[in-house]
A = this chain, B = another copy of it.
Amino acid sequence: MIRIAVDAMGGDRAPRAPLAGAILALSELGDGDVVQLVGRPDVIEATVDDLLATDFAGHAVDRSRLPIVAASDVIAMAEKPTVALRSKPDSSMRVGLKLQADGGSDAFVSAGNTGAQMALSVLTLRLHDGLGRPAIAAIFPSARRPVVVLDAGANVDCSPAELVQFARLGSVYAEDILRRERPAVGLLSIGEEPEKGNAAVKDAHQLLAAAAGLHFIGNVEGRDLPLGEASGHDLDVVVCDGFTGNVLLKFYEGIAPFLIGLVADRAGHDPRALAAQLKELDYAEYGGAPLLGVRGVSIIAHGRSDARAVKNAILVAKRAVEAEMDVHIGRRLAVGASAA
Protein backbone atom coordinates (compact mmCIF):
# COMPACT_ATOMS: atom_id res chain seq x y z
CA MET A 1 0.00 0.00 0.00
CA ILE A 2 1.35 3.40 -1.03
CA ARG A 3 0.28 6.59 0.73
CA ILE A 4 0.80 9.82 -1.17
CA ALA A 5 0.12 13.15 0.52
CA VAL A 6 -1.14 15.95 -1.73
CA ASP A 7 -1.01 19.61 -0.76
CA ALA A 8 -4.66 20.56 -1.24
CA MET A 9 -3.90 24.25 -0.70
CA GLY A 10 -0.88 24.69 -3.04
CA GLY A 11 -0.88 26.02 -6.61
CA ASP A 12 -2.53 28.72 -8.70
CA ARG A 13 -5.64 26.59 -9.07
CA ALA A 14 -5.87 25.23 -5.51
CA PRO A 15 -7.81 23.72 -3.93
CA ARG A 16 -9.80 22.52 -6.95
CA ALA A 17 -6.96 21.32 -9.23
CA PRO A 18 -4.99 19.35 -6.59
CA LEU A 19 -8.17 17.72 -5.29
CA ALA A 20 -9.43 16.84 -8.78
CA GLY A 21 -5.94 15.48 -9.52
CA ALA A 22 -6.12 13.30 -6.41
CA ILE A 23 -9.49 11.90 -7.46
CA LEU A 24 -8.22 11.28 -11.01
CA ALA A 25 -5.15 9.47 -9.66
CA LEU A 26 -7.17 6.92 -7.66
CA SER A 27 -8.06 4.87 -10.73
CA GLU A 28 -4.40 4.70 -11.82
CA LEU A 29 -3.02 3.77 -8.40
CA GLY A 30 -3.22 0.32 -6.84
CA ASP A 31 -6.51 -0.63 -5.14
CA GLY A 32 -5.07 -0.27 -1.67
CA ASP A 33 -3.20 2.95 -2.32
CA VAL A 34 -4.46 6.15 -0.74
CA VAL A 35 -4.07 9.85 -1.48
CA GLN A 36 -3.89 11.91 1.68
CA LEU A 37 -5.48 15.34 1.26
CA VAL A 38 -3.59 17.85 3.37
CA GLY A 39 -5.11 21.21 4.22
CA ARG A 40 -8.11 22.91 5.79
CA PRO A 41 -10.73 20.18 6.32
CA ASP A 42 -13.74 22.44 5.67
CA VAL A 43 -12.32 23.63 2.34
CA ILE A 44 -11.33 20.12 1.30
CA GLU A 45 -14.71 18.59 2.24
CA ALA A 46 -16.67 21.26 0.39
CA THR A 47 -14.47 21.12 -2.72
CA VAL A 48 -14.51 17.33 -2.94
CA ASP A 49 -18.31 17.35 -2.47
CA ASP A 50 -18.60 19.81 -5.30
CA LEU A 51 -16.18 17.91 -7.59
CA LEU A 52 -18.10 14.67 -7.04
CA ALA A 53 -21.35 16.45 -7.88
CA THR A 54 -19.96 18.13 -11.02
CA ASP A 55 -16.75 17.05 -12.83
CA PHE A 56 -16.90 13.54 -11.37
CA ALA A 57 -20.70 13.08 -11.30
CA GLY A 58 -21.48 9.44 -11.97
CA HIS A 59 -17.93 8.28 -11.21
CA ALA A 60 -17.50 5.65 -8.51
CA VAL A 61 -15.07 7.35 -6.12
CA ASP A 62 -14.05 5.56 -2.94
CA ARG A 63 -13.73 8.40 -0.44
CA SER A 64 -12.08 6.12 2.11
CA ARG A 65 -9.01 6.25 -0.16
CA LEU A 66 -8.95 10.05 0.21
CA PRO A 67 -8.30 10.60 3.92
CA ILE A 68 -8.11 14.23 5.06
CA VAL A 69 -5.08 15.39 7.04
CA ALA A 70 -5.84 18.67 8.83
CA ALA A 71 -3.51 21.67 8.47
CA SER A 72 -4.73 25.15 9.34
CA ASP A 73 -2.15 27.37 7.59
CA VAL A 74 -1.76 28.04 3.87
CA ILE A 75 1.49 29.28 2.34
CA ALA A 76 0.73 31.73 -0.47
CA MET A 77 2.43 31.39 -3.86
CA ALA A 78 4.31 34.69 -3.63
CA GLU A 79 5.20 34.43 0.06
CA LYS A 80 8.85 34.54 1.08
CA PRO A 81 9.85 31.01 2.11
CA THR A 82 11.76 32.21 5.18
CA VAL A 83 8.74 34.17 6.39
CA ALA A 84 6.34 31.32 5.65
CA LEU A 85 8.49 28.88 7.61
CA ARG A 86 8.59 31.04 10.67
CA SER A 87 5.03 32.32 10.78
CA LYS A 88 3.10 29.25 9.61
CA PRO A 89 4.01 26.18 11.67
CA ASP A 90 0.82 24.37 10.68
CA SER A 91 0.98 24.88 6.90
CA SER A 92 -0.32 22.14 4.59
CA MET A 93 3.22 21.76 3.26
CA ARG A 94 4.84 21.29 6.60
CA VAL A 95 2.13 18.93 7.85
CA GLY A 96 2.29 16.81 4.68
CA LEU A 97 6.08 16.52 4.83
CA LYS A 98 6.10 15.90 8.58
CA LEU A 99 3.66 13.03 8.08
CA GLN A 100 6.23 11.43 5.77
CA ALA A 101 9.12 12.06 8.15
CA ASP A 102 7.08 10.38 10.91
CA GLY A 103 6.36 7.32 8.78
CA GLY A 104 2.72 8.09 8.09
CA SER A 105 3.11 8.80 4.40
CA ASP A 106 5.38 7.71 1.54
CA ALA A 107 5.52 10.80 -0.66
CA PHE A 108 4.47 14.43 -0.86
CA VAL A 109 3.19 16.33 -3.90
CA SER A 110 2.61 20.08 -4.10
CA ALA A 111 1.95 22.68 -6.80
CA GLY A 112 2.51 25.43 -4.25
CA ASN A 113 5.35 27.81 -3.44
CA THR A 114 8.50 26.05 -4.73
CA GLY A 115 10.93 27.87 -2.46
CA ALA A 116 8.91 26.96 0.62
CA GLN A 117 8.58 23.35 -0.52
CA MET A 118 12.34 23.10 -0.97
CA ALA A 119 13.12 24.65 2.39
CA LEU A 120 10.50 22.61 4.26
CA SER A 121 11.53 19.38 2.52
CA VAL A 122 15.13 19.87 3.61
CA LEU A 123 14.11 20.86 7.12
CA THR A 124 11.60 18.06 7.60
CA LEU A 125 12.93 15.11 5.56
CA ARG A 126 16.60 16.17 5.76
CA LEU A 127 19.28 15.63 3.13
CA HIS A 128 21.33 12.59 2.30
CA ASP A 129 24.85 12.66 3.70
CA GLY A 130 27.30 14.76 1.78
CA LEU A 131 24.76 17.06 0.15
CA GLY A 132 24.60 20.77 0.91
CA ARG A 133 21.38 21.40 -0.97
CA PRO A 134 18.79 19.42 -2.94
CA ALA A 135 18.48 19.71 -6.73
CA ILE A 136 15.44 20.15 -8.94
CA ALA A 137 15.29 17.83 -11.94
CA ALA A 138 13.34 19.14 -14.93
CA ILE A 139 12.23 17.18 -17.98
CA PHE A 140 13.09 18.65 -21.40
CA PRO A 141 11.17 17.13 -24.33
CA SER A 142 13.54 16.36 -27.21
CA ALA A 143 13.52 14.91 -30.71
CA ARG A 144 14.57 11.57 -29.15
CA ARG A 145 13.57 10.81 -25.57
CA PRO A 146 12.84 13.33 -22.80
CA VAL A 147 16.04 14.54 -21.13
CA VAL A 148 16.49 15.15 -17.39
CA VAL A 149 18.12 18.52 -16.77
CA LEU A 150 19.43 19.40 -13.34
CA ASP A 151 19.80 21.55 -11.42
CA ALA A 152 16.82 23.61 -12.63
CA GLY A 153 16.98 26.29 -9.99
CA ALA A 154 17.73 25.12 -6.46
CA ASN A 155 21.45 25.98 -6.56
CA VAL A 156 22.58 29.15 -8.30
CA ASP A 157 26.32 29.11 -7.70
CA CYS A 158 27.57 25.52 -8.00
CA SER A 159 30.93 23.98 -7.21
CA PRO A 160 32.41 21.31 -9.51
CA ALA A 161 31.73 18.70 -6.79
CA GLU A 162 28.07 19.72 -6.70
CA LEU A 163 27.82 19.26 -10.47
CA VAL A 164 29.09 15.70 -9.97
CA GLN A 165 26.43 15.11 -7.29
CA PHE A 166 23.81 16.30 -9.79
CA ALA A 167 25.10 13.68 -12.23
CA ARG A 168 24.56 10.96 -9.61
CA LEU A 169 21.12 12.24 -8.60
CA GLY A 170 20.03 12.61 -12.22
CA SER A 171 21.24 9.12 -13.11
CA VAL A 172 19.10 7.54 -10.39
CA TYR A 173 16.12 9.63 -11.50
CA ALA A 174 16.59 8.48 -15.11
CA GLU A 175 16.83 4.84 -14.01
CA ASP A 176 13.98 4.81 -11.51
CA ILE A 177 11.45 7.23 -12.99
CA LEU A 178 12.22 7.14 -16.72
CA ARG A 179 13.39 3.49 -16.65
CA ARG A 180 16.61 4.14 -18.55
CA GLU A 181 19.46 1.67 -18.31
CA ARG A 182 22.94 3.04 -17.77
CA PRO A 183 21.81 6.62 -18.39
CA ALA A 184 24.13 8.78 -20.50
CA VAL A 185 25.15 11.95 -18.65
CA GLY A 186 26.28 15.09 -20.46
CA LEU A 187 27.79 18.23 -18.93
CA LEU A 188 26.29 21.42 -20.37
CA SER A 189 29.00 23.65 -21.79
CA ILE A 190 29.86 25.88 -24.73
CA GLY A 191 31.89 23.37 -26.71
CA GLU A 192 32.57 19.64 -26.85
CA GLU A 193 36.19 19.96 -25.84
CA PRO A 194 36.97 19.34 -22.13
CA GLU A 195 38.74 22.70 -21.90
CA LYS A 196 35.64 24.64 -22.97
CA GLY A 197 33.37 26.20 -20.37
CA ASN A 198 33.47 28.39 -17.30
CA ALA A 199 35.78 27.60 -14.39
CA ALA A 200 33.35 25.33 -12.53
CA VAL A 201 32.41 23.39 -15.66
CA LYS A 202 36.01 22.79 -16.69
CA ASP A 203 36.83 21.34 -13.28
CA ALA A 204 33.59 19.35 -13.19
CA HIS A 205 34.50 17.79 -16.54
CA GLN A 206 37.68 16.35 -15.03
CA LEU A 207 35.85 15.06 -11.95
CA LEU A 208 33.07 13.49 -14.03
CA ALA A 209 35.52 11.81 -16.37
CA ALA A 210 37.16 10.15 -13.36
CA ALA A 211 33.97 9.39 -11.40
CA ALA A 212 32.98 5.79 -10.66
CA GLY A 213 29.48 4.53 -11.40
CA LEU A 214 28.57 7.20 -13.96
CA HIS A 215 28.14 6.93 -17.72
CA PHE A 216 29.65 10.32 -18.56
CA ILE A 217 29.65 11.11 -22.29
CA GLY A 218 31.39 14.50 -22.09
CA ASN A 219 30.33 18.07 -22.71
CA VAL A 220 27.10 18.80 -24.53
CA GLU A 221 25.98 22.10 -26.05
CA GLY A 222 22.69 23.97 -25.99
CA ARG A 223 21.72 22.60 -29.38
CA ASP A 224 22.16 18.97 -28.27
CA LEU A 225 19.32 19.30 -25.75
CA PRO A 226 16.44 19.61 -28.25
CA LEU A 227 18.10 16.95 -30.42
CA GLY A 228 18.23 14.61 -27.42
CA GLU A 229 21.60 13.25 -28.49
CA ALA A 230 25.27 14.09 -28.39
CA SER A 231 28.44 12.37 -29.55
CA GLY A 232 26.40 9.46 -30.87
CA HIS A 233 24.63 8.79 -27.56
CA ASP A 234 20.97 9.27 -26.72
CA LEU A 235 21.01 11.81 -23.91
CA ASP A 236 19.40 10.90 -20.60
CA VAL A 237 20.78 13.43 -18.12
CA VAL A 238 22.24 16.92 -18.61
CA VAL A 239 24.03 18.53 -15.70
CA CYS A 240 24.33 22.29 -15.18
CA ASP A 241 24.26 24.88 -12.41
CA GLY A 242 20.84 26.00 -11.21
CA PHE A 243 21.17 29.45 -12.75
CA THR A 244 21.72 28.15 -16.28
CA GLY A 245 19.17 25.36 -15.80
CA ASN A 246 16.48 27.72 -14.57
CA VAL A 247 17.08 30.22 -17.38
CA LEU A 248 16.91 27.38 -19.95
CA LEU A 249 13.80 25.82 -18.43
CA LYS A 250 11.92 29.13 -18.47
CA PHE A 251 13.23 29.90 -21.95
CA TYR A 252 11.81 26.55 -23.10
CA GLU A 253 8.48 27.37 -21.46
CA GLY A 254 8.37 30.65 -23.36
CA ILE A 255 9.78 29.63 -26.72
CA ALA A 256 7.37 26.74 -27.35
CA PRO A 257 4.17 28.85 -27.33
CA PHE A 258 5.96 31.59 -29.30
CA LEU A 259 7.04 29.21 -32.06
CA ILE A 260 3.72 27.36 -32.11
CA GLY A 261 1.91 30.69 -32.37
CA LEU A 262 4.18 31.76 -35.21
CA VAL A 263 3.61 28.53 -37.13
CA ALA A 264 -0.13 28.64 -36.49
CA ASP A 265 -0.26 32.20 -37.81
CA ARG A 266 1.74 31.42 -40.94
CA ALA A 267 0.10 28.09 -41.75
CA GLY A 268 -3.44 29.19 -40.88
CA HIS A 269 -3.98 26.95 -37.86
CA ASP A 270 -5.74 27.66 -34.59
CA PRO A 271 -2.86 27.95 -32.10
CA ARG A 272 -4.78 26.19 -29.30
CA ALA A 273 -5.72 23.27 -31.52
CA LEU A 274 -2.13 23.01 -32.71
CA ALA A 275 -0.76 23.10 -29.15
CA ALA A 276 -3.21 20.36 -28.16
CA GLN A 277 -1.61 18.11 -30.80
CA LEU A 278 1.82 18.57 -29.22
CA LYS A 279 1.34 16.68 -25.98
CA GLU A 280 5.04 15.99 -25.58
CA LEU A 281 5.62 19.71 -25.03
CA ASP A 282 3.02 19.96 -22.28
CA TYR A 283 4.59 20.11 -18.82
CA ALA A 284 1.40 18.53 -17.48
CA GLU A 285 2.37 15.26 -19.22
CA TYR A 286 5.43 14.97 -17.00
CA GLY A 287 3.56 15.87 -13.84
CA GLY A 288 6.21 17.06 -11.51
CA ALA A 289 9.88 17.34 -10.74
CA PRO A 290 11.23 15.37 -7.80
CA LEU A 291 13.32 17.38 -5.39
CA LEU A 292 16.40 15.18 -5.46
CA GLY A 293 18.65 14.64 -2.48
CA VAL A 294 16.14 14.75 0.36
CA ARG A 295 15.54 11.57 2.37
CA GLY A 296 12.13 10.75 1.01
CA VAL A 297 9.93 11.81 -1.88
CA SER A 298 8.91 15.43 -2.45
CA ILE A 299 7.48 16.19 -5.89
CA ILE A 300 7.34 19.77 -7.11
CA ALA A 301 4.45 20.32 -9.52
CA HIS A 302 4.18 23.44 -11.68
CA GLY A 303 2.31 26.31 -10.02
CA ARG A 304 -0.12 26.39 -12.94
CA SER A 305 -0.88 22.66 -12.62
CA ASP A 306 -4.34 21.54 -13.64
CA ALA A 307 -5.95 18.29 -12.44
CA ARG A 308 -4.14 16.17 -15.04
CA ALA A 309 -0.74 17.66 -14.09
CA VAL A 310 -1.38 16.93 -10.41
CA LYS A 311 -2.53 13.41 -11.27
CA ASN A 312 0.66 12.84 -13.24
CA ALA A 313 2.75 14.27 -10.40
CA ILE A 314 1.09 11.75 -8.06
CA LEU A 315 2.02 8.98 -10.50
CA VAL A 316 5.63 10.20 -10.53
CA ALA A 317 5.54 10.01 -6.73
CA LYS A 318 4.19 6.48 -6.91
CA ARG A 319 6.96 5.39 -9.26
CA ALA A 320 9.60 6.98 -7.03
CA VAL A 321 8.22 5.08 -4.02
CA GLU A 322 7.88 1.74 -5.85
CA ALA A 323 11.36 2.00 -7.37
CA GLU A 324 12.83 2.94 -3.97
CA MET A 325 14.48 5.94 -5.59
CA ASP A 326 15.39 7.33 -2.19
CA VAL A 327 17.31 4.18 -1.24
CA HIS A 328 19.11 4.17 -4.59
CA ILE A 329 20.09 7.81 -4.20
CA GLY A 330 21.57 7.13 -0.78
CA ARG A 331 23.53 4.20 -2.20
CA ARG A 332 24.77 6.13 -5.24
CA LEU A 333 25.92 9.07 -3.16
CA ALA A 334 27.77 6.67 -0.85
CA VAL A 335 29.63 5.21 -3.87
CA GLY A 336 30.66 8.74 -4.78
CA ALA A 337 31.77 9.50 -1.23
CA SER A 338 33.83 6.31 -0.86
CA ALA A 339 35.51 6.91 -4.24
CA ALA A 340 36.33 10.52 -3.35
A→B interface (CB under 8 Å): 142-143, 153, 156-157, 188-190, 197-199, 201, 221-227, 240-244, 246-263, 266-267, 269, 274, 277-278, 280-281
Which residues of B have CB within 8 Å of A188?
247
Which residues of B have CB within 8 Å of A257?
226
Q: From B153, B260, B267, give the contact of A277 (CB < 8 A).
A: B267
Which residues of B have CB within 8 Å of A153?
190
Closest 4 CB pairs of A and B: A222-B250, A223-B254, A222-B251, A226-B258
Given that A201-B243, A244-B243, A278-B266 are known contacts, is A253 also in contact with B222, CB under 8 Å in the complex? Answer: yes
- A235 CB to nearest B CB, Å: 12
Q: From B222, B225, B266, give the contact of A246 (CB < 8 A).
A: B222
- A82 CB to nearest B CB, Å: 12
Across the two chains, which residue of chain B brings its CB closest to A253?
A: B223
Complex Cα distance, B222 from A242, in Å, reads 13
Complex Cα distance, B223 from A281, in Å, reads 15
Q: From B243, B274, B277, B281, give the contact of A198 (CB < 8 A).
A: B243
Which residues of B have CB within 8 Å of A253?
222-223
Complex Cα distance, B278 from A266, in Å, reads 8
- A163 CB to nearest B CB, Å: 13
Across the two chains, which residue of chain B brings its CB closest to A143?
A: B258
Given that A247-B188, A249-B222, A267-B269 are known contacts, is A197 also in contact with B156, CB under 8 Å in the complex? Answer: yes
Given that A190-B156, A197-B243, A243-B190 are known contacts, is A250 also in contact with B263, CB under 8 Å in the complex? Answer: no
